Structure 1
């Protein structure tokens, strides 16, 4: 952090605020902070590690904001959160052992599919629907798969959680967002534990960005709870599409 100018630090703090706001509503905050950290001169591994430091606080703040409004029961979700945490730790530790390039090629297609689903499927609002699987089965299948992916690669994990909660658990868009933020927090925390060992995050910079993340997440969660699906769906479509385009650009 000492090597960064004040202008760069302020730019990164502003990026963290914007990321916290967007992430609390639809996910995808890393689209803002990771490129900003790399533009500031951090190597990719250190940028990802530092991003996890500040991202944990944003996701945690959003999860608590939703919980205070009764949109997620923290006690009932302790088990799924613990599964997401453990799966993310395993995923992060397997980064050097699993070839991830094939997954990267398929990700843009999946993300664009998710964007089209939320953009075009009629009747998607804040109302709950009939669930297709039990909460226990959801926690035993969808949660560890997405948590493992979040630790292994990360991009789009929030969109995958959202899709699972809407399609399988039968949650309305706002309630799905609330539960997604809790699992995002858990898997981010698991990823941070592993990245702290291999990525050498800049803790002071991550802490400064975390304060901005908290402020942005509080504002974003408040807006989402006030407007609901009308703001969540368009922003989710936008972030999923932007992430897909960024991944395509990186491959090219």
Structure 2
């Protein structure tokens, strides 16, 4: 595909760009509702492999994720109350940790990380299924500050590595350990994802691994999907979000399991 106005598309054809934009649109909708849009977006990039190297897919996905999450977070903030204290603490920790994760993106063994994620996801699904009232309403919880700082740092590092499922993990931490409802947790997770993706980009941009043309095209589609997904989530409420959360978590388990067996 010819480059437009000097923007880099990583040699992807028009058909490839349309495929990636469609994936970004769907990922934006899923991510807005409950997180886990990276389950669709990053694999799509890896199938097309723009630029010829995995690191370009990871870096470009951060541009898409940052812009998409920012638009979704803004929409949530206008539709539902936001716990800005938790947002600030979690975002600060996640921002710094994401920079470290991005720096380690090509250094850590993927197999070991996949095992950790698989076990964590299984525990998340079991806990959510066994507690049907989990996340249906806000609960005062004394561990919110600890969860915000430590959880934000852990998820930020994982996001910096380019691993999928960070939005879902954020939602579960906020619901299961901090007492937020699924709706509130989804709103907070979007803003925190902006911070973690920005932290990763501070490493990727100077390294020259971001494909800006492709990233901007996908980001526009991701924003559209995100706004639609947010409106659906706010209208349908916590019960609907819980169901989507379980579906995304199970899909993540299947994806990670296939990687480990492959």
TM-score normalised over the length of structure 2: 0.87
- Give yes or no for the alignment of 1:117 onto 2:127: yes
Structure 2 residue matching 1:123: 3-state secondary structure = coil
Q: CA RMSD in A?
A: 2.1
Which of 28, 34, 40 in structure 1 is aligned with 2:48?
A: 40
Alignment partner, residue 236 of structure 1: 245
- Aligned pairs (5 A) from 1:42-191: 42=50, 43-74=53-84, 77-135=87-145, 137-191=146-200
* Alignment deviations for residues 40-91 of structure 1 (CA, whole Å, 9 cap, x no partner): 2323211111111111111111111111124214476334312211111122
Distance 1:41 1:79, change over 3 A: closer
Taking the TM superposition and a 5 Å limit, the aligned residue runs for 1:174-213 are 174-198=183-207, 200-213=209-222
The corresponding residue for 1:216 is 225
Per-residue deviation at 1:134? Answer: 4.1
- Residue from 17, 32, 45 that aligns with 1:9: 17
Q: 1:141 aligns to what SS in structure 2?
A: helix
* Structure-1 residue corresponding to 2:38: 30
- Given that residues 86 and 148 in structure 2 are in contact (C-alpha distance below 8 angstroms), is that contact kept between their aligned partners in structure 1? no
- TM-score, normalised via structure 1 length: 0.90
- The count of corresponding residues between Structure 1 and Structure 2 is 251
Q: CA deviation at 1:123?
A: 1.1
Q: Which runs of 5+ in 1 are unaligned?
A: none
String of CA shifts for 1:113-155, please: whole Å, max 9, x gaps: 21233233121243111314143x3333222122122213532
Is the 2:80–2:184 contact (alpha carbons within 8 Å) kept by the matching residues of 1? no
Cα deviation, residue 16, structure 1 = 0.7
